[in-house]
Amino acid sequence: MKIRPTSKFIRDQVSKSGEAILLLGVRRSESAQRARNLQKHDAAAEGRLSPHTDFKGCYIFTPIKDLATPEVWAVLINSKPPWGGTYKELTTLYKDALAGECPFVLSTNDAPSCGTSSARFGCWTCTVIEKDNSIESLITAGHLHLEPLAQFRKRLKQVSDNPDFRSRVRRNGQPGMGPLTMAAREMVLQELLDMQASLGLDLISRTEVRLIKEQWALDESDAIFRELAKSEEATELTCAQ
């Protein structure tokens, strides 16, 4: 969801200009994993910009990599945002969600970007982690409107981990835990739309719903999924008998 469009943008810039510089706000003190990653990229840089491991012609610039967390907050608290106001809401948000960040991800081969002690904000529906400490801490701190979102994330994980809701064929045609069945997808999307209506929050756009249903149509037209549907219907009939 994040890496592919970013990778496409980088490739486009390199293709257009011959080179590109990717600026990352990562720091050694964020975690042991991030420190190791930065050390690896520093060794490859040889005192210059780090070459991107996946894109020839792209270089990585990390201007705040040696700053400690208190130094970052000191800079923010003593400066004004370009859009006006202050960083007070941001500092409160991170204070409520606890400290700690995830390893940064540059390609699909890197470690997942979420961790159980993360205070990082992004994909609230992520099912890679067992428990989202950030959202749980925010709810404890009084952000009660986030509670239905936390429950929905747990619901997604339950559905994802349940073989009854998963195809028996992977997208590569091999047997195994494949994508969610069409019935499960429809069920989850409807639950999300119902929650969005009840909370009055913008959780998914009409465009996203349209694109999701277009993907469903593509899957239903795929020979693998047609065979899978027949298999599932046969299984359901056998169970009913």
Helix (H, G, I), strand (E, B) or coil at 166: strand
Confidence of residue 1 (pLDDT cuts 50, 70, 90): low
**pTM summary value:** 0.56
CA-CA distances (angstroms) from residue 216 to 41, 180, 186, 194, 209? Answer: 40, 11, 9, 20, 11
Pairing status of strand 50-51 against strand 20-23: unpaired
Decide if 111 is inside a domain: no
For 160-213, what is each residue's pLDDT tens digit?
999 999 988 888 888 888 889 999 999 999 999 999 999 998 999 999 999 999
Q: In the chain, how many domains are there? A: 1
Residue with tokens 């210059």: 48
For 119-170, what is each residue's pLDDT tens digit?
555 577 776 667 777 777 778 878 888 899 989 999 999 999 999 999 888 8
Decide if 151 is inside a domain: no
CB-based contact 31:100 (threshold 8 Å):
yes
The Cα 42–Cα 228 span in angstroms is 48
Q: Which of 201, 200, 204 is nearest to 190 (CA)?
A: 204
Q: What is the 3-state secondary structure (H, E, C) of 69-121?
A: HHHHHHHHHCCCCCCCCCCHHHHHHHHHCCCCCCCCCCCCCCCCCCCCCCCCC
Decide if 67 is inside a domain: no
Decide if 21 is inside a domain: no
The residue segments making up the domain with residue 230 are: 162-241
Decide if 227 is inside a domain: yes
CB-based contact 23:52 (threshold 8 Å):
no
Decide if 181 is inside a domain: yes
For 73-114, what is each residue's pLDDT tens digit?
888 888 888 888 888 877 777 776 753 344 344 444 444 444
Decide if 214 is inside a domain: yes
Residue with tokens 């003593």: 78
The Cα 221–Cα 227 span in angstroms is 10
Decide if 112 is inside a domain: no
